[in-house]
Amino acid sequence: MAVTDKTAGRHGISAFILEKGTPGFFPGKKENKLGLRASDTSTVVFEDCRIPKDNLLGEPGHGFIDAMKVLDGGRISIAALGIGMAQGAYEAALHYSQQRKQFGKPISDFQAIQFKLADMATEIDAARLLIHRAAWMKDNGMKTTKESSMAKLYAGEVAVRVANECVQIHGGYGYIKDYPAEKYYRDVKLCTIGEGTSEIQRMVIARELLRP
């Protein structure tokens, strides 16, 4: 993205394609992240980088607008990522609760654990339905700003809650790397941050609800 018209505000931002190897364009520091470490994240550096007008992507001045439209779809993807990890954490917790025994019986026999599993499964299903609705609307060419944000907000926060309960059900084993619980716990947090934080999603949803 580059500001191509300083007088036009958000309508003065244009998008451009930059090829790898373009002089003055290179990756910066690779970040040492909390989770999702298999996906590299780094800054992008521009130093005296010049590109031809032919590299314009879309219409001049439409870069910001197009980026916001892309976010609607991206939020569905982040929601799906979150609910996939939540499902994995739930299945790990369910399996462990049936194997781990205390007081002569599996901990899944205790109501405290059963209630956790019930809440996890219910919230995952509710989040998945929100994602399916947003994805269906996008597939059918409909505007999904509110629905995408709802799906992303809820799925991301459900994923964090489910991963937290997964660690709790594993007890001390949930805190060591021999079990998957700790990795789910680290990985899911990004789903409340990437493609707009949970706070931003609430702002977007409220704006759509209050739109005349």
The catalytic position among 147, 165, 182, 195 is 195
CB 81 within 8 A of CB 163: no
State the DSSP string of the chain.
-EES-TTSGGGGEEEE---TT-TTEEEEEEP--SS-TTS--EEEEESS----GGGEESSTTBHHHHHHHHHHHHHHHHHHHHHHHHHHHHHHHHHHHHH-EETTEEGGGSHHHHHHHHHHHHHHHHHHHHHHHHHHHHHTT---HHHHHHHHHHHHHHHHHHHHHHHHHHGGGGGSTTSTHHHHHHHHGGGGTTTS-HHHHHHHHHHHHT--
Q: Identify whether 147 is a catalytic site residue.
A: no
Indicate which residues carry an active-site annotation.
195
